[in-house]
Structure 1
Amino acid sequence: MPPSLRALPALQVGFDPAGGDRARPAPALLAGLNALPQGLLLIDRLGRIILRTDRVTHLLGLPGEETPDRVSSRQILFALRLAPRDGRRALARRLRCALEQRRSAAFELAIETACLEIELHPVDDGGWSVSVADVSLRRAAEAQAEERARIDPLTGLPNRLLLREHLDEALARLARSGEGCALLVIDLDRFKPVNDTLGHPVGDALLVKVAERLRSTLRATDTVARIGGDEFVILQTAVSNPGDTQALARRLVDLVGRTYMVDGHLLTIGASVGVAFAPDDGRDADRLLKNADLALYRAKLDGRGTYRFFEPEMDARMQARRQMELDMRQALARREFQLHYQPQLNLETNQLTGCEALIRWRHPERGMISPAEFIPLAEEIGLIVPIGEWVMRQACRDAAAWPVPLSIAVNVSPAQFKSDRLVEMILSALASSGLPAPRLEVEITEGVLLQEGEKTLQTLHRLRDLGVRVSMDDFGTGYSSLSYLRSFPFDKIKIDRSFVKDLASKPDGDAIIRAIAGLGKSLGMTTVAEGVETSEQMQRIRAEGCTDVQGYLISRPVPANDLVALLTRQRSPA
């Protein structure tokens, strides 16, 4: 009750000590009380109403005529007769307890025309004050806010909170009647490039269209919710046949993957879907969501644009992945990473020209771990930047002890190029090791140029200005390699090992090698064929005009100590 109303009982409105006629409030006081938005009842120690404002008369529907002298506990709140029958007894019980114990109490009554908030407070002289307020507008606003809190404002779909409520209800039905359900977690493929290239307004409009398509696939009893930027979840209820869920997952992949027209742009994205069933994959909401996420992760690993059902092995693999992440975060401090070096041979002089640095991880329990196992994870969780810096510094230190003019090639990931301090880090590595800049070669893949192209080109030009050489790795495997060769004057092109492998099995293998070698010659770039393992491959690559080779035929990657012995021999296997 507001402080102004709580202070009213202290006013000397007057009681007859001998129990005579009731005192009447002064007209001015009553007029002031009638102006308050709350209604007020004052009851004396004998249970008589000594003050009643017009507002309380209206809100509680009290009779306009003279009211009884004495008011029982049931009569204090006349609106009890308007309360729902199933709640009337509980309210009366709470009221009696408050009266008997002389303590404050608060009630809320929902009647046909309003929602009333009623507060009861004891007065020092043994009486009571009762305030009544119409909180209908406030409760309506709160209900609207609560509803908005459960709806995604962009798409109008349920959000994570409302999805969780519907999922809890479905799991309660499962416990009662055995009715199964399925969760389908949907992640949009290739959505980020839409945001990055066309802007967030186009991305938002695309999400709205995706939401409309998802709605169209569902029954009235199912729920589709947006729980993140481009992540949606469908709760499919009354599932008795997994084939129905499989059909839905297949339909989702197909429907989301169809072309969209948004603000004059033709857009094509895709969907990866992970599915978990209740009760087979879990009987509680958290486990179901976790297992559906694991299935989604598998769908992404398998190439995206597909769906996968949860399997117990997925959880085991994810636990192993988490353990590897924890171990990798400590590996740098424990000095568990090592560098191996694979030499490159010049075909004209039959001399080694340099080496490529390749990282290895000597795990204390698992032994040597291939970079193919941990580098993708390091890129995903952001550890590739500190690991890449360690590789650069260690490679420069090792190469500084090699005979001049042998060079060292270090692969730099796209994540490292996002760092504003890449050039400064390389400068520091060169300075601390004493390695001349021309003996360092930075290898990049097309993935580096795909992101923030102009900024990346500026970084590459800064490296060239320092004297550092730049090569394109895995050339020929991307869709825009030629355009990149025009945008930046690379020093070297490394022909992907897949083309060398195809020399013996595909008739066009020689032609591709010949074309790349000719392109490199015309642009003044060295061409290195990777993955050379046989003398026949070496001869054919030499015949097609490549300048250098790298592969097991020359040498496997070896530790720094073994490399020194190899460099001293300086002999070619050709």
Structure 2
Amino acid sequence: MSSPAEKLTTGRPSEGADRSLQSVGTTLYITHGVVADVADGPTDLFGGRAVPGKPLVDLLDEAEKFGFLPGGTAASIKTALAARQSKQLLSLADGRSIMVATEFAAADDMTLHFVDVSFAVQMTLSQQRDVLTGLPNRVELLRRLNEHLASPASLPQTAVLYVDLDRFKMVNDTLGHPIGDALLKLVVERMQRLLAPKDVLARLGGDEFVILQAEGEQPHAAEVLASRIIEIVGRTYLLQGHSVQVGASVGIALAATDGKTSEELIKNADLALFKAKSAGRGTFRFFTDAMDREIQERRALEIDLRRAIIMQEMSLVYQPQFEIDGNKLVGFESLVRWSTPERGSVSPAQFIPLAEETGIIDQLGEWVLRTACKEAAGWPEPLTVSVNLSPVQFKSPKLVSIIVGALSSAGLPPSRLDLEITEGALIENTEAVLLMLNQIKAMGIKVSIDDFGTGYSSLSYLQKFPFDKIKIDQSFIRSLETNADSAAIVRAVTALGKSLGMMTIAEGVETESQLELIARDGCAQVQGYLTGRPLAADAASELISTRT
């Protein structure tokens, strides 16, 4: 086998040379600083000027002069060779990436392989970049953030902002993913215009972004940037003839105080984002230690809730509903209760939203439905039982079959079941929900709209679906005696129900005066502490026996 010196002297590669390098680009064999031989592959970087006898420095200068190599490349290669640097990556003007792999011998003798590595570079970048937006992805963000955090002097100026778009899912669902993708690109353009040169914007997926704010007087700089993002991202977009509106919520974690590692900072910024969304969206929140405690408590509550459902630690109580005219008992609303030795009585206002957020509501809702039907089937008189359905339950294609199964298992006639839904169930995917409701109604099951008047589009839903009952929200009943607007709303809803042939029931009635007012306005039914507090199943049966 020839030595490297022999190979350079003869101008041809040895048998053991790396043929994969020789096959994809130009290889120059240099002896005493002059081209001794050339092996050209598919990639010729020198336009035929690489010929034996030409000094290497002249060849590089000519290649740059005639545009085969971008400006500054010749000097860069010369510097690397002088430092005996074995590998160097070059970016050409046409977008290609070229690796200069050099084998050094003695003095000015060397072999230079100019290898087209564009595909390998693109594959590497694809692992670091988001395909849709071209932004750094989570892997690249962590690398950049780790590099930044390695300098202790930069920590007081560094913040991590977690940005999530509000109402983006609705755009995707109603206008389609192509418009959703186009919207994301425009959002990115707007956010990038707000960033300083050293800041990094990354996309973690979906409509979630993270910004590494690299410098500024914190926390003021992060507050200013978050406010600008909310303002600019929230402006209207015009996409393919559609006027599109989204918003942004932002969570902020400061490197100096809120985390020692990149992952911890991102996690804490995400916790702050959760609080921002809970505060009503379109706002920002800074991370606090209390948020971390809250999330730990929330996880513990979720674990206990899952166990409670599995161990059947939940129970139902029943609040009586009366006809105002004649004070006749007509039914009960079933209400879920949860009590543990460790936690005591846990408010539904605490565990129901958690169940909805975590998906536990499907399992809990099915249990409530089956239990209510079973217990109502044992009542001494065939009164109606009302069961609340969460908007989340309507996302399950199994909902109708679950309802049918609960009735069949309990032997309860469909006409005795009244399903109460809120406007929230109709806001998203309205047509699909209405299709389900029509299937339910066709079986003879009653359907009521709960918390009526608290949403924005209640009247339109009354036009689209023939509800059996309208439930006037207790917030109006509470202020009935002191607020003229509330009194006007109650009168209007009652009149509306009559005109549409729908029963009206007022919930949350607690005083005789409230009862008198709703009766005067023509409300048909009442439910509240004045007429009856929630009762255990056996107490509800006793009440039925005494009042019917």
Query: What does 1:310-389 align with in structure 2 at a 5 Å threshold?
Result: 310-389=287-366
- 1:564 maps to 541
SS at match of 2:215: strand
- 2:101 maps to 116
Q: How many pairs were matched up?
A: 487
Aligned-pair distance for 1:84? 5.0
Whether the 8 Å contact between 1:41 and 1:56 is mirrored in structure 2 is: no
- 1:163 maps to 141
- 2:177 maps to 200
Distance 1:312 1:111, change over 3 A: closer
Larger radius of gyration: 1
Are residue 431 (structure 1) and residue 408 (structure 2) matched?
A: yes
Aligned-pair distance for 1:344? 0.6
Are residue 136 (structure 1) and residue 110 (structure 2) matched?
A: no
Equivalent-residue separation in structure 2 for 1:465 and 1:265 (angstroms):
37
Please point out which of 449, 452, 457 is paired with 1:475. 452
Aligned-pair distance for 1:185? 0.6
Are residue 150 (structure 1) and residue 128 (structure 2) matched?
A: yes
Equivalent-residue separation in structure 2 for 1:408 and 1:542 (angstroms):
23
Distance 1:42 1:163, change over 3 A: closer
Are residue 59 (structure 1) and residue 28 (structure 2) matched?
A: yes
Equivalent-residue separation in structure 1 for 2:191 and 2:452 (angstroms):
40
Distance 1:377 1:178, change over 3 A: closer
Whether the 8 Å contact between 2:381 and 2:544 is mirrored in structure 1 is: no
SS at match of 1:499: helix
Comparing 365-374 and 448-457, the one that deviates more: 448-457
SS at match of 2:28: helix
Comparing 110-119 and 380-389, the one that deviates more: 110-119
Matched to 1:263, the amino acid is Q
Query: What does 1:397-436 align with in structure 2 at a 5 Å threshold?
Result: 397-436=374-413
SS at match of 1:212: helix
Aligned-pair distance for 1:243? 1.4
Distance 1:166 1:467, change over 3 A: same
Aligned-pair distance for 1:495? 0.6
Equivalent-residue separation in structure 2 for 1:65 and 1:190 (angstroms):
64
Whether the 8 Å contact between 1:346 and 1:549 is mirrored in structure 2 is: yes
Equivalent-residue separation in structure 1 for 2:509 and 2:282 (angstroms):
34
SS at match of 1:528: strand
Distance 1:324 1:118, change over 3 A: farther
Whether the 8 Å contact between 1:82 and 1:111 is mirrored in structure 2 is: no
Identity of aligned residues (%): 48
Whether the 8 Å contact between 1:530 and 1:550 is mirrored in structure 2 is: yes
Whether the 8 Å contact between 2:162 and 2:210 is mirrored in structure 1 is: yes
Matched to 2:208, the amino acid is E
- 2:532 maps to 555
Matched to 1:402, the amino acid is W
Distance 1:114 1:41, change over 3 A: farther
Matched to 1:511, the amino acid is A
Distance 1:455 1:84, change over 3 A: same
Query: What does 1:242-253 align with in structure 2 at a 5 Å threshold?
Result: 242-253=219-230
Distance 1:86 1:448, change over 3 A: same
Distance 1:341 1:41, change over 3 A: same
TM-score (norm 2): 0.82
Deviations 1:119-146 (A, max 9, x none): 9xxxxxxxxxxxx8946213x4322332
Equivalent-residue separation in structure 1 for 2:505 and 2:24 (angstroms):
92
Distance 1:109 1:313, change over 3 A: closer
TM-score (norm 1): 0.79
- 1:40 maps to 14
Distance 1:58 1:337, change over 3 A: closer
Matched to 2:116, the amino acid is L
Matched to 2:476, the amino acid is F
